[in-house]
Amino acid sequence: MKIENINHVAVIGTGMIGASMAALFTGNGYSTTMLAFSEQGLERGSRLYDTCFGDLIDKNLVTKDQAERCRKLLRFTFDYSDIADADIIFECVAEKLDVKLCVYENINANCKQFRALASTTSALSADDLAEGMTANRDKLVVAHPYNPPHLVPFVEVVKSKFTKDEAAKTAYEVLESAGRKVIIMQRCAPGFVANRLQHALLREAIHIIEEGLAEPRDIDKALMYSFMPRYTSVGLFEHQDAAGLDLVKSIEDYLLPTLCNGCAAPDYINKLVAENNLGMKTGKGVYEWPEEAKEDFRCRAAAPYLRYFNWDIPSE
Ligand SMILES: NC(=O)c1ccc[n+]([C@@H]2O[C@H](COP(=O)([O-])OP(=O)(O)OC[C@H]3O[C@@H](n4cnc5c(N)ncnc54)[C@H](O)[C@@H]3O)[C@@H](O)[C@H]2O)c1
């Protein structure tokens, strides 16, 4: 439910993440301003925002009336002075340190009452972002969402060494009030939490291929139909407790010495990249990607998240 003392949310950047975040916040009743850098950027943000709601309407998660009500909460601007009274600011601009730091200087010059400045960066460290700021370092957090943030509930809030608890708490509470499942990391580490887990799994999956033990299709089958579905309703550690930690210990002592501990992209990936088989965008990667397979993938990728749709859509 919307937090009473958060009256104005600002979203800087009108790309994929910015538009999706604006959909999320207006969808949960927050007056939201998107700051664009060009007419084209504004048009793109507006189109992407409408697409978010169009998809939700198609899936019967939101009615047209509700979408119109949410749209009324959205403003666009090119001018930082229009977000001077924002209570929280989500920075969703290109993944370049200098671009983000330039935005922070403009925020510092214009915005006087924000309690948290949350960067949606995928990979930049909260320490590096804060160190480049000339003021308000204590209000900077990373709030790393998964794409698209209006559908995928998880967000990891990461503190820098300068961040005050109050700023992390504000980001946490605002995101949670919009139905997100949020964690706070007390200090930054590459990949935050979820990508560390994801890439540890990928490293072993590629190791299995390189060892000639199984093909990619069979590894995907193993994941989709063995333990992955379990983890949408119970946690990894809950499951280990259920199995018994004595059993976990004996499996780990026997198995871990055989797992991959490589520390760079493996030859399997290097070879595909060298051949320009980059995946969907070149039509071939690990798999072949004809147009119809791409669309089928997009639908299947979004499907598991629809059950989490839980917005508190404003009633008037
Ligand atoms: N796309 C994802 O899957 C994803 C997931 C999680 C986090 N993120 C992060 O969210 C942030 C935004 O990503 P996105 O996917 O929305 O990107 P995008 O390219 O769709 O949008 C980037 C936005 O930055 C703006 N911008 C401002 N100054 C710019 C400049 N000098 N150069 C380029 N762009 C400039 C653009 O106008 C645009 O509005 C990035 O930090 C990204 O790493 C992306």
Domain of residue 249, CATH code: 1.10.1040.10
**Is 215 inside a domain boundary?**
yes
| 79 and 146 belong to one structural domain | yes
| 15 and 161 belong to one structural domain | yes
47 confidence band (pLDDT: 50, 70, 90): very high
Measure 114 CA to ligand 1 centroid, in angstroms. 21
Atom 18 (ligand 1): residue with closest C-alpha?
15
| 62 and 198 belong to one structural domain | no
251 confidence band (pLDDT: 50, 70, 90): very high
| 166 and 154 belong to one structural domain | yes
Ligand 1 atom closest to Cα of residue 95: 41
Residue 157 belongs to what domain range? Answer: 9-185
| 234 and 118 belong to one structural domain | no
| 22 and 120 belong to one structural domain | yes
| 123 and 81 belong to one structural domain | yes
**Is 71 inside a domain boundary?**
yes
Q: What total number of domains does the chain contain?
A: 3
The pTM of the full predicted model, rounded to 2 decimals, is 0.94
What is the pLDDT averaged over residues 13-36?
98
Supply the mean pLDDT for the chain: 97
Pairing of strands 154-159, 140-145: antiparallel
| Residue 110: how many other CB atoms lie within 10 Å | 14
Check if the beta carbon of residue 132 is closer than 8 Å to that of residue 97. Answer: yes
Q: pLDDT per residue over 116-146, tens digit each?
A: 999 999 999 999 999 999 999 999 999 999 9
Which H or E run contains 248?
helix 245-255
| 175 and 246 belong to one structural domain | no
- 37 in contact with ligand 1, CB cutoff 6 A: yes
316 confidence band (pLDDT: 50, 70, 90): confident
What per-residue confidence (pLDDT) applies to 50? 98
| 175 and 38 belong to one structural domain | yes
**Is 309 inside a domain boundary?**
no
**Is 227 inside a domain boundary?**
yes
| 28 and 75 belong to one structural domain | yes
What per-residue confidence (pLDDT) applies to 241? 98
| 63 and 121 belong to one structural domain | yes
Among 22, 70, 68, 26, smallest CA distance to 45 is for 22
What per-residue confidence (pLDDT) applies to 10? 98
**Is 150 inside a domain boundary?**
yes
Measure 95 CA to ligand 1 centroid, in angstroms. 6
Query: Which of 93, 96, 97, 280 is the best mutation target for the ligand 1 pocket, counting ligand atoms within 8 Å of the beta carbon and taking the most?
Result: 93
Atom 4 (ligand 1): residue with closest C-alpha?
147
- C-alpha of 280 from chain center: 21
